[in-house]
Amino acid sequence: MVWAVLAVLLLSGPQGSAPASGNECATCHLRNAWTQSVTTHVDMWITSRHAFYRVGCEKCHGGDARTTDQRIAHRGVLNSAARSSPVSRTAQPATCGRCHRREANAFEGSVHRALLSQAETSAPTCTSCHSSMASDVLSPAALETQCRQCHHGDPQNRAGTARREVEALARLRLALRRAKLEIDITKDEDRKASLTKHWAESDRVLRDGMAALHRFDQSGVEDRLSEVRSQIDRLRAAVAGR
């Protein structure tokens, strides 16, 4: 069946890696989705990076992915509205933080996290910007709109600053990708190894800058941006042989 083939392809992972063994969640949910004409939760998962990297339903929702018995498979799985669910609004930072440690650690120090811990319904959580399946991330313009839902009429224009910082980091990430292409075609192996090491350090600094956004400390993000720019400027110079 088409749905079964699709499940196998998705669960085979990137670059032809070994299929995930015994994971029945996606297979069953994809089969159910195939018979429906509306967009379902699993449809969002199909296009997500989670699917690409074989992060299945049970990693976040719990349950038993090894069985086709519906009762056993869903044992312990709670609706996201339940506070004790690992995908509830207040639990998401801890659940997502199992893999996304940089971002989760930054978010823990934010005022948004403090509000979320107090069960403030308007406080943002992971899915406020990343959607429930991380199938997409808000564009800079959409992020600004999202921020203005709470920070409207803000004299500090924090929503606009957030948009500018995200745009700046996106440009720096593109510059880093271009540098990697130049490094990959370098024929001198010793120079290539040196540049690759330099690139890896620049990539680490960039990732730290991206993670810093989750603390929502905009002056801190500006400091990170400055550090990232300096690091990538040095890398560009090294790649160009200057």
Task: List pLDDT tens digits, range 73-86.
Answer: 999 999 988 989 99
Q: What share of the chain in percent tops pLDDT 90?
A: 50
The pTM of the full predicted model, rounded to 2 decimals, is 0.78
Instruction: Pick the range with the lowest mean pLDDT from 81-95, 123-137, 185-199, 202-216.
Output: 123-137
Quick one: pLDDT at residue 37?
61
Average pLDDT of the segment spanning 133-142: 79
Quick one: pLDDT at residue 132?
74
Confidence of residue 168 (pLDDT cuts 50, 70, 90): very high
Instruction: Pick the range with the lowest mean pLDDT from 11-20, 95-104, 142-151, 171-180.
Output: 11-20
pLDDT above 60 (res 141) = yes
Q: How far apart are alpha carbons 103 and 93 in whole angstroms?
A: 9
- 242 versus 44: which is more confidently predicted? 44
DSSP string, the chain: -HHHHHHHHHHT-GGGPPPPTT--HHHHHHHHHHT-SS--HHHHHHTSHHHHTT--HHHHH-S-TT---HHHHTTT---TTSTTSTTSTTTHHHHHHTT-HHHHHHHHTSHHHHHHHTT-TTS--HHHHH-TT-S----HHHHHHHHHTTSTT-TT-HHHHHHHHHHHHHHHHHHHHHHHHHHHT---HHHHHHHHHHHHHHHHHHHHHHHHGGGT-HHHHHHHHHHHHHHHHHHHHHHHT-
Tokens of 59: 């990693």
- 131 versus 72: which is more confidently predicted? 72
Quick one: pLDDT at residue 134?
61
Closest CA to 212 of 181, 182, 169: 169
Q: What share of the chain in percent tops pLDDT 70?
A: 87
